[in-house]
Amino acid sequence: MTRRRTPADVVRAAPGPAFEIRFDGRPLPALPGQSIAAALWAAGVLSWRTTRRDGRPRGAFCGIGACFDCLATVNGQPNQRACLVPARPGDTITTQEGHGHAGLTV
């Protein structure tokens, strides 16, 4: 039987205790030092944005903040790059639809 190893196991990292963030109303665990995208991925969430034109699902693509596919609404602020924003206890992330300005006076 093969033991499943995580990246933290490989480098013998010992992150601090998990805390809770919320994605579309669901509580999810996150670890200190994780980006919001990493926390969502770890919880099995692969998309948290829809495109403006066709409403197609998007999530992380490049993972380094260059492509803007991972935009999310974080604590009420649209267009946050989830791969660059550190997860913090109590963060509220919601799926961003289109350009993220629905309901805002633009």
Give Cβ neighbours of residue 4 (< 8 Å, ≥ 6 apart): none
**Per-residue pLDDT reduced to its tens digit, 8-51:** 788 887 888 999 999 999 999 999 999 999 999 999 999 998 88
CATH number of 18-97: 3.10.20.440
Domain ranges of the chain: 18-97
In tens, the pLDDT along 41-89 reads 999 999 998 888 888 888 888 888 888 889 999 999 999 999 999 999 9
Beta bridge partners of 89: none
The structure's pTM equals 0.79
Complete DSSP assignment for 60-96:
-SSSSSSS-TTEEEETTEEEEETTTSBP-TT-EEEPE
